[in-house]
Structure 1
Amino acid sequence: MNKINTPMQNKTIFRALLLSAACICSFSIQAQDKKAKALLDQVSAKVKNYSTIIIDFKYSLSNAKENINQDSKGNVVLKGNQYVLNFMGATKLYDGKKTYTIVPEDEEITISKVDENDNTAVTPNKMLTFFNTGYKYTLNGDATVKGKKIQYVKLVPMSSKDQRKEIILGIDSQTKNIYNLVEVGKKGTKTTLTVNSFKTNQPLPKNQFTFVKSKYPNYYINSLD
């Protein structure tokens, strides 16, 4: 004779099933987080081993509500914490102590100091390792792009003051280099940086990160420090 469970017993069984499902879901999420962390650690380790990095990239900005669509191209040369960034008609050079922003259109140069301990400052030399602190992350699927397998990681800023809703980081599964970075703002703005070429350990001129004032004889120099 089959035993019929009472309503109270049915509720207990249902709660147990819900708890089991929640535990399985939690373990699954934790496993995904660990895999995402391991992948990000591999990216960071790769970046640290490069003596120099040269990147050509495409930058896109869009906001459907504001009817904004903008595309630009740029390039950046990195060595340690030094960099030269060419983007949107301007050049930004950082020699390790000061930043020099050179705008040919206005014939103006702005010189300022940089606080290397300021973790909130987003600079080219931090773009390849920014994800190490301040984010929750999980795997976000993969895709084949131009013959390359790209693994995506979703990053969610932990600070409520951050104006970004989420960041999707695309990583080349073979090289462990960053392929693209998509930032989605809380107000609907979406920016995408896609790497067109990624060269490493290239020889650079000795004065690559040196500001030479004599090259800009007619420029107005605005020193903020």
Structure 2
Amino acid sequence: MKKSIYGITALATLMVSMALPGYTQTDAAAKSLLDRVSQTYEAYKTLQAEFSLAIKQADQATHTESGTIYMDKPAGKYYITTGNQDIISDGKTQWMVLKDVGEVQITEVPPASEAISPTNIFSFYKEGYKYVSADDERAGSKPLAVVELTPTDAYAPYFKIKLRVDEKAYRIHDVTIFDKGGNRFVYTIKNTNANPPLPNNKFAFQQKDYPGVEIVDLR
């Protein structure tokens, strides 16, 4: 299912931004929470996290997918693996491996995008949104602080994002995206590992790992 990762073909370089947040609406409680979340992730040089994506389409059809993301933030490198795709970047070149069709597409790293994907899930909220605190919620026994964000760009494909934060660790628990077509996308972040050792070859395409794959160079 090629649409299973929301905006995955528009991988954002926002994930490596070390700028301070530039929020556009001053809800003091929400700003304080988002500042703390930013500080948490900006302290990481490398990151490994599992994630799941649950999609509920406007016609009530559902789909779920899970994967793992590895990031070297200072170098702008990332490696995302899911059941259908692997996306690898050394900061300059991107290799998108389409496992179901046996093809790898080589492109230059796409420019920054407003699309929300696993690569910028930890930093997308830094700018371009109005935000407000909402009532706290729980996931099982875990208390979660809630911030609702509205994009300032009227042409954004979504009208609201709900960000839930583990207030003890100041880490993102999940992000729900409400798009204008009536679809809902829920990213849940699991088992975050801060500053793991990641070898350089983690972020480069290794053809031996994908025998028989067709290479399509789109640069």
Q: TM (normalized to structure 2)?
A: 0.81
Aligned residue runs from structure 1 range 34-45, under 5 A = 34-45=28-39
Q: Distance in 1 between matches of 2:92 and 2:194?
A: 24
Aligned residue runs from structure 1 range 95-110, under 5 A = 95-110=90-105
Residue 119 of structure 2: aligned partner: 125
Q: Distance in 2 between matches of 1:215 and 1:73?
A: 20
**Cα deviation digits, residues 24-69 of structure 1 (max 9, x gap):** xxxxxx9971221121111111111112211112211112x41311
Q: Distance in 1 between matches of 2:113 and 2:63?
A: 28
Of the structure 1 ranges 202-211 and 76-85, higher mean CA displacement relative to structure 2 is found in 202-211
Residue 63 of structure 2: aligned partner: 70
Residue 186 of structure 1: aligned partner: 180
8 Å contact kept, 2:25–2:130: no
Of the structure 1 ranges 42-51 and 197-206, higher mean CA displacement relative to structure 2 is found in 197-206
2:93 equivalent to 1:93: no
Q: How many residues align?
A: 194
In structure 1, the gaps of 5 or more residues are 1-29
Residue 154 of structure 1: aligned partner: 148
1:70 to 1:168, Cα distance in 2 relative to 1, 3 A: same
Which structure has the larger Rg over C-alpha atoms?
A: 1
1:124 to 1:192, Cα distance in 2 relative to 1, 3 A: closer
In structure 2, the gaps of 5 or more residues are 1-23
Of the structure 1 ranges 70-79 and 130-139, higher mean CA displacement relative to structure 2 is found in 70-79
**Cα deviation digits, residues 106-144 of structure 1 (max 9, x gap):** 22100111244x343545332201111110001111123
Q: TM (normalized to structure 1)?
A: 0.79
Q: Distance in 2 between matches of 1:174 and 1:57?
A: 20
Higher RCO structure, 1 or 2 (CA under 8 Å, sep 6+): 2
Residue identity over aligned pairs, in percent, reads 25
Q: Distance in 1 between matches of 2:43 and 2:159?
A: 31
Residue 224 of structure 1: aligned partner: 218
Of the structure 1 ranges 92-101 and 205-214, higher mean CA displacement relative to structure 2 is found in 205-214
**Deviation >4 Å, runs of 4+:** none
8 Å contact kept, 1:32–1:139: no
8 Å contact kept, 1:82–1:125: no
Please provide the CA RMSD for this pair: 2.0
Q: Distance in 1 between matches of 2:130 and 2:28?
A: 11
Q: Which SS does the other structure have where 2:33 is aligned? A: helix
Q: Which SS does the other structure have where 1:106 is aligned? A: coil
